[in-house]
Chains A and B, each alone.
Chain A
Amino acid sequence: MAVRPGRPGSLTFQARPSLLARRAGAVVSVAQQPDGAESLPPGQDEPDEAELASAESGGGPTALRILLGGQLRRLREAAGISPDDAGYEIRASRSKISRLEHGRVSFKERDVADLLTLYGVPDGDLRAHLLTLAQQANSRGWWARYDDVLPDWFATYVGLEQATSLIRTYELQFIPGLFQTEDYARAVTVLGHRSASPPEIDRRVSLRLKRQELLHVGAAPRVWAVIDESALRRPLGGAGVMRAQLQRLIELAELPRVTIQVMPFDRGGHSAAGGSFSILRFAAPDLPDVVYIEQLTGALYLDKADEVDHYREVMNSLSAEADTPAASARELKKLISAL
């Protein structure tokens, strides 16, 4: 991977948002490494707004920010108010309004109150509900304690992941992070951080394992993964590590809320030629699905209906083309004995 390890806590800026991100109107930030291995320093797509960096580094219940941001956007549009005028009201730029509405920055309660007044939302349930959301969205999640190894772009993902009701993921290259054994996670992490110190590797692996607690909590989200055969055959860490990893997949697939489907080599030409991606769903009816895509220099978060529709359609095709969960369990056993 053509990535350089960064100093924890340092801030680097990408020269400009990637074309894809701009076209998609997506949230983007820098620093990337394979399969969501948490890496590299936090980044910003618009260096002229460095003031926002501190606001973005908090982690926090990201899904609440996105929920609140989406509601603010709908209210603003319903009131026929431009982002510029909204920005003026809270002494901020048009792009800050965009960031707020995408849930990318934390909210000052006073700003939310001023915007609601501008949008003509009177005292009452809705106003109180949104102000409460603003408060809740500013609390910090457990992952904030990993900010030395957790760049903002991935903190956003971890925050979203913690709030989901359903995670659908398609993985081409690696076992999905939530399913990795400690040894496999270590092999992936070392691959992406060749010059990292052993304690730093430990921290990154520890974060990965901490994320996996999600699978075992009472209100666990459903995790529905389609894993390409190439990810299952690439023996990261050696045959022994891979055998244990495949065994782990078989065990996880038996959890009531985990589904694993194998996409065999012979089912070529399927529709995800672009690569791995995930779709996160939230229980709240108002929250849109969020598509998460990692790129070489960052991650995309898409939540517009037409974009999400496209990825959901691809994911549906993949799920229908891949082996059924029952056939996939048999295939995993075969792969183990072939190792």
Chain B
Amino acid sequence: MASEDAPGSGAAVPAGEAPAFDTSVAHVARVYNYWLGGKDNFAADRAAAEQAMAAFPGIALSARANRAFLRRAVTYLAGQAGIRQFLDIGTGIPSANNTHEVAQATVASSRIVYVDNDPVVLAHARALLTSSPEGATDYIDADLRNADQILAGAAATLDFSRPVGVMLMAILQHLSDDDDPYAVVGKLMAAVPAGSYLVLSHPAKDIHAAEMAEMANRLNQTMAEKVTFRGQAEVAKFFSGLELVEPGMTNVPEWRPETEEEATSLAALWGGVARKP
């Protein structure tokens, strides 16, 4: 199981390229599914998720808070901001309140492109993330590091002459600094017109810092996909050149919470919504 893939053992699977076919090694989408209370996980995922929870017991709440942030952010974009097209990168295993469901509940004709690099995750997306009759959903098999491929594929469904909501929900931690995540985000935002939005959340290394550091350490021992948690200033840099909407970048429960319970949830994720001027 996971012990064979500890760092330094020369794990054969490059970061981000472990297919969910292989259930003997914990996989990020399935670990996240476990934290969300889903049933699409396997023994190695459950073990890794539990080990992470032992380091940071708030991670399950944090994962839920991230989903709640997604729902509020998409509701805001589809409603107040008038966004009708979404590019959701790092789809993950379908859960409650998926991007197209939230967007199409506000405007049924919303168009959503989901991007993931895992064949099993994509099979789930194609089967379960199906559009309203008025709107459209499409699914692209691509890696976040390959922004050109994502943009080329998305152009079949999205009109890049009109504003797009670009969603990067708790995904950039899987790019190391060597992958130059800032260039990736820059390229994506350069391809969309003024009036587009970036919705981004990222695990924080400076909220519950000691627990988060230990959790990152454990995840990097059990999962093929490595994580790099980042601090407030590092995450804020992803919004460079964009205009953050109120209340700016926050720990995600504080971003326009709708209930007291949402507002006070434990979480350690920097998140924000920003408009391209």
* A and B associate in one complex: yes
Interface residues of chain A, those whose CB is within 8 Å of chain B, are: 222, 224, 256, 259, 261, 281, 285, 288-289, 305-306, 309, 312-313, 316-317, 319-320, 324-326
Is the beta-carbon distance between A259 and B127 smaller than 8 angstroms? yes
Bound-state Cα–Cα, A256 to B120, Å: 20
Write out, one digit per residue, whether chain B residues 2-19 have a CB within 8 A of any chain A CB (1) or not (0). 000000000000000000
Contact of B39 among A261, A289, A306, A326 (CB under 8 A): A289
Residues of B within 8 Å of A305, CB to CB, are 43
Contacts of B133 in A (CB 8 A): 256
**Once the chains bind, are B119 and A306 in contact (CB under 8 Å)?**
no
B81 at the interface (CB under 8 A from A): no
In the complex, what distance in Å separates the CA atom of A289 from the CA atom of B23? 17
Q: Which residues of B contact A316 (CB under 8 A)?
A: 20-21, 120, 123
Q: Once bound together, how far apart are the Cα atoms of A305 and B123, in whole Å? A: 22
Contact across chains for A309 and B23 when beta carbons are under 8 A apart: yes
Contact A319 B39 (CB under 8 A): no
By the criterion CB–CB under 8 Å, are A320 and B39 in contact? no
A256 (CB) vs chain B CBs: closest residue: B130
**Neighbouring B residues of A256 by C-beta, 8 Å:** 130, 132-133
Q: Is the CB of B123 within 8 A of A313?
A: no
Closest A residue to B23 by beta carbon equals A313
Contact with A along B108-149 (1 / 0, CB 8 A): 000000000001101110111010110000000000000000
CB contacts (< 8 Å) of B23 on chain A: these are 309, 313
Determine whether B37 belongs to the interface, using a CB cutoff of 8 Å to chain A: yes
Q: How many residues of B contact A (CB 8 A)?
A: 19
Q: With A281-B39, A289-B39, A309-B23 known to touch, is A320 a contact of B127 (CB < 8 Å)?
A: no
Tell whether A224 pairs with B21 under 8 Å between CB atoms, given A285-B37, A316-B123, A319-B123: no
How many A-B pairs with Cβ below 8 Å?
A: 45
A116 and B159 alpha carbons, distance in the complex (Å): 61
- Nearest CB of chain B from residue A29's CB, rounded to whole Å: 26
Query: Looking at the complex, which one of B40, B42, B119, B128 makes contact with A320 (CB distance below 8 Å)?
Result: B119
| Chain A neighbourhood of B123, CB < 8 A | 316, 319-320
Contact in complex: A309, B21 (CB < 8 Å)? no
Task: For the A-B complex with A259-B127, A325-B126 known, give 14 more contacts whose Cβ atoms are closer than 8 Å.
Answer: A222-B128, A224-B127, A224-B128, A256-B132, A285-B37, A305-B43, A306-B43, A312-B42, A316-B120, A319-B123, A319-B127, A320-B120, A320-B123, A326-B126
A319 touching B130, Cβ below 8 Å: no
Q: 0/1 per residue, B86-107, Cβ < 8 Å to A?
A: 0000000000000000000000
Collect the chain B residues with CB atoms within 8 Å of residue A306's CB: 43
A338 vs chain B, min Cβ distance (A):
25
Within 8 A of A (CB), among B3-53: 20-21, 23, 37, 39-40, 42-43
CA distance A256 to B129 in the complex (A): 10
CB-CB under 8 A for A261 and B130, given A281-B39, A313-B23: no
Chain B residue at smallest Cβ distance from A288: B39
Contacts of B119 in A (CB 8 A): 320
Q: Are B43 and A309 in contact (CB under 8 A)?
A: yes
Decide: A259 and B39 in contact? CB cutoff 8 A.
Answer: no
User: Which of chain B's residues have a CB closer than 8 A to the CB of A312?
Assistant: 40, 42
Nearest-neighbour CB distance to chain B for A165, whole angstroms, equals 10
Please pick, from A259, A289, A309, A326, the residue contacting B128 in the complex, using a CB distance under 8 A: A259
| Residues of chain A with a CB closer than 8 A to B120's CB | 316-317, 319-320
Q: List, in ascending order, chain B residues with CB within 8 A of A313's CB.
A: 21, 23, 42
B127 engages A325 (CB within 8 Å): yes
Cross-chain pairs A/B with CB under 8 angstroms, 17 sampled? A222-B127, A224-B128, A256-B132, A259-B127, A288-B39, A309-B42, A309-B43, A312-B42, A313-B21, A316-B20, A317-B21, A317-B120, A319-B123, A319-B124, A320-B120, A324-B126, A325-B126
